[in-house]
Amino acid sequence: MSPVNLAILITASLFLGMVGCLECGYRLANRRLKPEGGRAGAGAVEGAIFGLLGLLIAFTFSGAHTRFEARRQLVIQESNNIGTAWLRLDLLPPATQPPLRDLFREYVDARLAAYAKLPDVPAARAELERSLQLQNDIWTQSVAACKLPEGQRAIMPLLSALNAMFDIVTNRTTALKTHTPTIVFGMLGVLALISALLAGMGMAGATRRSWVHILGFALIISLTVYVILDLEYPRLGLIRIDSMDQLLRDVRHDMQ
């Protein structure tokens, strides 16, 4: 099952589960309907649970959005670092530049392919490994070129730029794997179902169900969870950062 379909399945399951809990709460409370005094203190409990659900949604959404923006900034940073290192190749002896420039082109192609092939994780990992091997080749040839008498002026500017270009790969790979813990999403789902049950119980005593409230409440919570999931996995869902890869493609185009 594709990640998009999985997110839709989770959202649909949560929606149906919340509608079911709302109905169960409504029926359960109607069967055990007591005088108004029988619900003394229930409002405080319900308020605490609804408040906890709201806080959990807020913090989860905020964390997902922060990570989303951080991943966008890392793409910008990598594009800048590669562009800077490419320009500093001009400091090397002319005879050593063509092979290094060819390696740079292959490197950028591998970096673009590593993310373009997601969600095919094995294929993306293979491209990542290829880019790491190209890093070793670029570093080896750059160091050898810098050891030449006419290349020593490039030691500091070029090698520092290469370090920055290589380090950002680790940062982006780590950011790709950093997400809200699964247990937090599980707790969010459980709280949503409990809140739906309590909301259904709060509707007891009405002559007829308010389907606008029932469906609206379940739909809004479910869609919010879906958006959070999409923000957490911006290479897999409908909310994507693929457009930011255009920066790397522009860098690659300038390498012609």
pLDDT digits (tens, 9 = 90+) for 175-217: 999 999 999 999 999 999 999 999 988 887 666 778 888 999 9
- In a domain? residue 30: yes
Residue 118: predicted pLDDT: 86
Q: Can you tell me the mean pLDDT for 1-17?
A: 84
Q: Residue 253: what residue type?
A: H
- In a domain? residue 202: no
Q: What dihedral angle (degrees, nearest 10) is formed by the CA atoms of 123, 124, 126, 132?
A: 170
Q: Can you tell me the mean pLDDT for 84-113?
A: 95
Q: Residue 210, SS3?
A: coil
Q: For residues 148 and 82, is the Cβ–Cβ distance under 8 A?
A: no
Residue 126: predicted pLDDT: 95
Query: What one-character-per-residue DSSP string does 9-29 give?
Result: HHHHHHHHHHHHHHHHHHHHH
Distance CA 164, CA 166 (A): 5
How many structural domains are present in the chain?
Answer: 1
Say which range, 31-35, 86-90, 135-139, has the weakest mean pLDDT: 31-35
Q: Which tokens in the block code for residue 223? A: 């869609």
Does residue 41 come out as left (phi exceeding 0), alpha (psi in the -120 to 50 range) or beta?
Answer: left
Phi, psi angle pair for 176, to nearest 5°: -65, -30
- In a domain? residue 39: yes
* Residue % of the chain over a pLDDT of 90: 71
* Residue % of the chain over a pLDDT of 70: 93
CA-to-CA dists, residue 248 to 17, 64, 211, angstroms: 43, 24, 50
- In a domain? residue 189: yes
- In a domain? residue 118: yes
Q: Residue 255, SS3?
A: coil
Confidence grade of residue 146 (pLDDT, cut at 50, 70, 90): very high
- In a domain? residue 201: no
Asked if residue 39 has pLDDT above 60, the reply is no
Task: For residue 249, give its domain range.
Answer: 3-196+208-254
Q: What is the pTM of this model?
A: 0.86
- In a domain? residue 58: yes
Q: For residues 169 and 131, is the Cβ–Cβ distance under 8 A?
A: yes
Residue 60: predicted pLDDT: 95
Which one of 21-30, 34-43, 120-129, 203-212 scores highest in mean pLDDT? 120-129
Q: What dihedral angle (degrees, nearest 10) is formed by the CA atoms of 203, 204, 206, 209?
A: 60
